[in-house]
Chain A
Amino acid sequence: MANNKVYLDFEKPIAELEAKLEEMIQMAKEKNTHSFDEAINSLKESIQKLKKETYSNLTPWQRVQLSRHPERPYTMDYIRALCEEFIELHGDRQVRDDKAIVGGFGRIGEQTIMFIGHQKGRNTKERQYRNFGMANPEGYRKALRLMRLAEKFDKPIVTLIDTPGAFPGMEAEERGQGEAIARNLREMFRIKVPIICIVIGEGASGGALGIAIGDRVYMLENTWYSVISPESCSSILWRSWDYKEQAAEALKLTAEDMLNNKLIDGIIPEPLGGAHQDPETTFQTVKEFILRDIETLKKEDTTQLLAARIDKFSRMGVFIENPA
């Protein structure tokens, strides 16, 4: 067990036990004895039990925390792990290349796929370079350009969603952030190849939705997807940042809630404790979902595919219709 792991606040009890375990193993090693074996094993069991307890009762806010875990796999990690080959493509052909959205053709076995996703950074420098995964209009325009390319060469599209929101900056407004997202929403309904969308971390509002119109929309188990972040919701409705836990509850933003409300098509399970605990397993699961769906969706007639895509989103919403 590496001890430079990042633990979240609610993982503190696990951290303490894991530190103790490490100490014990170290001691046994130093003294070259097997007399601690029993204690070590029982401690390992307790840790496992505690983990199961902790992770099977996560609150919505804890899921939000996990979705932002600094060790969580990002878009490029998925692409690198899934594809045998990947050629990144840059630029919106108008203004510049947005580093917060990446994309390109990748190959899994015989299948070429257009991958597009928000990209976050791992350290301070990278985070700034990627603008914390907050895209400008040119990011959405690049995404649409790449989707059109995929359509031209009849390759399916996979989008990976992981953003705290579209960037709320001055230049973003000048270059039409609203228009860029709006156009993507409309155009993604008529891209004539299968689109699979997966929320791999944060799915905040229009910035997420701007690349999340698809024939299949999934959320990984420990992600969130809503119209606003719990923090912003708290600050607007309660006029303070202190109600983020409550806001996370109220927004029904977890994968389970979103599925129950028929706003997504399914949940992709994560290893115990989150995607970062065992990235390889996470990548494998995601790969299976993608390949399985591409097989199914490829067989569908294009007209049918597009009609079903529109129909699915058209049915979203709950209201009361009183007789006239």
Chain B
Amino acid sequence: MSWFIRKEKNIQTPTEQKKEVPDGLWHKCGECKQVMLAADLRENAYTCLHCGFHERIGSKEYFELLFDGGVFTELNPNLESADPLQFVDSKPYPQRIKEAQAKTGLKDAVRTAYGKMNDIDIVIACMDFSFIGGSMGSVVGEKIARAIDFAREKRYPLLIISRSGGARMMEAGFSLMQMAKTSAKLALLDEAGVPYISLLTDPTTGGVTASFAMLGDFNIAEPQALIGFAGPRVIRETIGKDLPKGFQSSEFVLEHGFLDFIVDRKELKDQLTALLKMIWLS
């Protein structure tokens, strides 16, 4: 059986000779590794045709999936991060922002918009994990706060789609206070009796979990998302043990009573519609 054994160690191909599959045509599932046409993946709400794995998508894809005909009006698209603390770690914060903007084509880690979802007026705030880990700084906090105000004034239901590693360290104290700000606005929305649905997707942790993501009238999640306050690495280091399989998964969080239900992304629009029809339009 020696012909199974690699003679030379490791991969020998130099980086420049590696062949890349062109983007956009084929997609390999991050979970089951099976290959499918990118168009089929998109058709399937960016969930794997074979194993149902939910790919990490962003505001562009969610807006397309949820707003009728992909038509929406974006709110406050011109907010951008400043550098109030002149924060420098391995690089200056403004440079980090610029690079993230160039890489993603986004202004910051959340986009907010309103439009129709199956003819229901709705405000959607959707986080973009590709922008510095979906971290919450002043811009994310402010845009979400304004979206909440908008939903309250117009009396449109609000959906916030969270996908975030938590606070943005480069805005330190400012970042922390966005948790307070968004929660304050949600208190007002709650008092106004306007429904708020929080959709938690992979991953939702830290300051986002400990503020608006857990404050929905309905907290729902995509399957197998990582949802928690502390990240798994921190917990592992604290308790000095490996974590059980499935710890902090959507299913785990549902089982412990912190989610109303788990929704497959292919059913998301219909489920949200059904729910809003029952509580808001009847």
Contacts and interface: CB of A to CB of B under 8 A. Distances in A.
Interface of A: 166-170, 172-179, 181-183, 185-187, 189-190, 205-206, 209-210, 213, 225-228, 233, 236-238, 250-253, 257-258, 261, 263, 309-310, 313-314, 316-324
B79 to A, nearest CB: 5
A227 B183 CA distance: 16
A209 B180 CA distance: 8
Contacts of B169: 227-228, 233, 236-237, 251
Contacts of B186: 186
Contact of A263 (B174, B213, B215, B234): B174
Interface string B68-102: 00000000111111101101111000000000000
Given A170-B235, A228-B167, A252-B85, A206 B78 contact: no
Given A182-B214, A263-B177, 16 more contacts: A170-B243, A173-B247, A179-B258, A182-B213, A186-B184, A206-B210, A209-B177, A213-B183, A227-B176, A227-B207, A251-B173, A261-B84, A313-B177, A314-B185, A318-B171, A319-B82
Given A168-B238, A173-B248, A205-B207, A186 B138 contact: no
20 contacts: A173-B228, A176-B257, A178-B209, A181-B210, A182-B213, A182-B214, A185-B183, A186-B184, A205-B207, A225-B176, A251-B172, A252-B172, A263-B176, A263-B177, A313-B181, A317-B137, A317-B181, A319-B82, A320-B81, A321-B78
B79, B87, B173, B247 pick with most chain A CB within 10 angstroms: B173
Contacts of A182: 179, 183, 209-215
Given A179-B214, A250-B89, A310 B187 contact: yes
B178, B183, B214 pick with most chain A CB within 10 angstroms: B183
A318 B138 contact: yes
Interface in B114-155: 137-139, 141-142, 145
A136 to B, nearest CB: 11
Interface residues of B, number: 62
B239 interface: yes
